[in-house]
Amino acid sequence: MKSFQKILSLVGISSAFISTSVESFSSRYTESPVSVLPETTDKRNNTPLNCPHFQNCPGCITPIDYTNVPVVESAKLFFSSSSIQQKTINPRENFFETVIPSSVHGWRTQAKLAVKPKSKWGAGCKFGLYERRSHELVEIPSCAVHHPSINEAIAILEKATINVKTPSWNEDSGSNGLRYVQFSVERMTGRVSMTLIWHAGDLKQTQPHLSRLIKECKKIDNKRKKDNEPSLFHSIWCHTNDSLGNAIFARGQKNWHPMDGPEFVREVLPGTNVKDREGLLHFSPMVFRQGNLNGFDEIAMHVANSVGGGNKVCELYAGVGLLGFTALSYWERQGEPLGWVRCSDENPNNPRCFKKTLNSIPSDVSGRLSMKTNNKKRGGNNFKKKGNDQNQEKTLDELMQEMMDGGVSESTVIDPRKGKISYVVADAASALHKGEALGADVLIVDPPRKGLDDEVLTQLCKPYNPKQSYTEDPMFLDVPKYATNWVNDVHTLVYVSCGFDALARDCDRLLKGNAGWKLESATGYILFPGSNHVETVAVFKRRAGRDDYDLQY
């Protein structure tokens, strides 16, 4: 309630208004770029959850009418307030639209569950969620929102822990044992990547219990083949974490241990299918992955549509680059290819997944041409050998001549060995100061629940500087770095929020600043039906000093 009042106070809504009833909102799509039809959302909103664990499980707060939860009501009040409406491009009733982007059943394709002893004698483990504000475990073996493969994996794992007497972590004594478990479903195959989080300092301290458990899980899984059922487990990992806090995963690559199966779970790029061969996203347990990928596919397509064709894009808080890859692929199919996409995030494990995804994308989309292909297409003399295996880039004169001949457009000049999409390991503020958004038309941000870093907000709130010349490279800046507007040319901001409190704070600061931002749209996605959560896509626009950019206020 305090966070709710804080949000309303930002926009000057009185406490008397808080007590008034809020009329239910009908999800209508008149100008929305997303693909979920209003009748689909209405139908899903009226579909009962019918989960046997609803009364006891802390995960869900409503078994139906999923758009009628406190955080959605907060969002409606915030975006309908006069101070926000005055800063919108097209003020209208019901400005904040709500969407249920996936089925209300079986949507969770990734789940983290806590572990407790199955009995006081320690024969095996049980799995579930902690009750609110306690460490009492609620078992959820038949969870209605879990992908069916996750419930099957829970059953196999529980049986295996009983068979081999796997110990669970004892919080009081601090003894080693199984602490948490994460399940990630590969949607194409329905198979599960399982990560066993063990309270231990290193892999040696997990033995012999870990090896016995993995062997038993595989044994039970192999019996499925005899019944003509496909193997369930895609891969098995172990993560060691002996910290005493509430963090499930410990920082550092040394804590991750692949035990069995492939490294990556693969997912089809949003807006495509396997037959299209447009590319596959790659995820490992070491990177962030959305809990509802079916629903997030719709968000990714919304973001791609909002980017606009032919633009240059910078994506901060990019994870493995899902949003950037989706936009790149989408606009290539529309015949308006993006100039380039620059992705960044601070997780050092992301680039490995990014590179695997990039290698799976057709070269005409990614812009990455092999040296052999490039030489063949351009006469074989564009790259000269230097030494035995080092290649030299084309000279500036050669590039200029090629542009004059019509071979390469000025807006899409790229190093054919690097392509149109790139990745930098850096936090959001550092990425901006490295020049990742210089020359970008569009900035995509998908921050954690805490919202945008303060330095990112500071840059976005700076007004357009007409004295700062256009450049895509910080080497050619003609103003001192301390005076540089690192987002000077950005005219569109696409903000994907998973924490509404932070979005309200950031939105208020953006609109009250002197950078000229106005809010074009705000769409709430009920990504986790049944829970008090909303994922919001907010699109902001400004002029940014471009003569050819016509923003109607």
Given a contact cutoff of 8 angstroms between Cβ atoms, the answer to whether 395 and 383 are in contact is no
- Residue 392: CB atoms within 10 A of its CB come to 11
As a whole number of angstroms, the distance between CA 33 and CA 29 comes to 9
Structure tokens at 152: 């099957």
Structure tokens at 149: 């493969």
Start-end of H helices in 405-464: 428-433, 454-460
As a whole number of angstroms, the distance between CA 140 and CA 394 comes to 60
Q: What is the 3-state secondary structure (H, E, C) of 235-281?
A: EEEEEECCCCCCCCCCCCHHHEEEEECCCCEEEECCCCCHHHCCCEE
DSSP annotation of 212: H
Which helix (H) or strand (E) element contains residue 182?
A: strand 177-186
- Check 51, 125, 498, 507 and give the catalytic one: 498
Task: Please choose, from the candidates 261, 112, 268, the residue with its C-alpha nearest in 3D space to the C-alpha of residue 187.
Answer: 268
461 is catalytic: no
Sheet containing strand 312-316, edge to edge, reads: 96-99, 518-525, 535-541, 492-497, 442-445, 312-316, 340-345, 421-425
- Residue 57: CB atoms within 10 A of its CB come to 20
As a whole number of angstroms, the distance between CA 431 and CA 437 comes to 8
**Cα angle: 189, vertex 305, 282; to 5 degrees:** 30
SS3 86: coil
> Is 290 labelled as part of a ligand binding site?
yes
- Chain centre to alpha carbon of residue 459: 23
> Is 446 labelled as part of a ligand binding site?
yes
- Chain centre to alpha carbon of residue 480: 34
As a whole number of angstroms, the distance between CA 331 and CA 470 comes to 24
Residue that the structure tokens 């320690």 belong to: 122
Residues 6+ apart with CB under 8 A from 481: 433, 474
β 442-445/96-99 pair status: unpaired
Angle between helices 2-10 and 70-80 (to 10 degrees): 10
Residue that the structure tokens 């907010």 belong to: 538
As a whole number of angstroms, the distance between CA 551 and CA 553 comes to 6
Q: Which residue numbers are catalytic?
A: 498
Known binding-site residue numbers: 290, 317, 345, 446
Known binding-site residue numbers for S-adenosyl-L-methionine: 290, 317, 345, 446
